[in-house]
Amino acid sequence: MSARRLRALLRRRPKPLPPGHVGVVRLTNYRPAARGSMPASYARFQLSKRLAYRYDVRAYPTTDREGMPLTVAYTRTTDTSHPDHADDVVCLWEFPNHIELPTAAEQVD
């Protein structure tokens, strides 16, 4: 997935994020995209957990609609909980710049 596509998905957010929260978009093969927000501490925990399991985690610096800098974290995993199919799950986290990411997230320009 290209950085341009990632930015486009997150820029469609209808309202600003609450303080201390990050935006989340979850994409799968078989279900529609889920959008929302979660506390930044929980999002950092989720990214750290995925880094520990050696999932592909990347971070893209970008800006939001108002021109404020932010970082988009991207992870891709496979959900095998359904016996009929393996579902690719892509999660995007929109971190405002004042919220730190886990240190091992790879920065991609």
Indicate the pTM of the whole model: 0.66
Q: Quick check: 84 pLDDT over 80? A: no
DSSP 8-class letter at 54: T
Q: Quick check: 32 pLDDT over 80? A: no
How far apart CA 36 and CA 42 sit, in angstroms, is: 13
Query: 21 to each of 18, 33, 49, how far by Cα in Å?
Result: 6, 19, 18
**Count of domains observed in the chain:** 1
Q: Which domain holds residue 63?
A: 3-107
Check: CB of residue 75 under 8 Å from CB of residue 48: no
How far apart CA 87 and CA 74 sit, in angstroms, is: 16
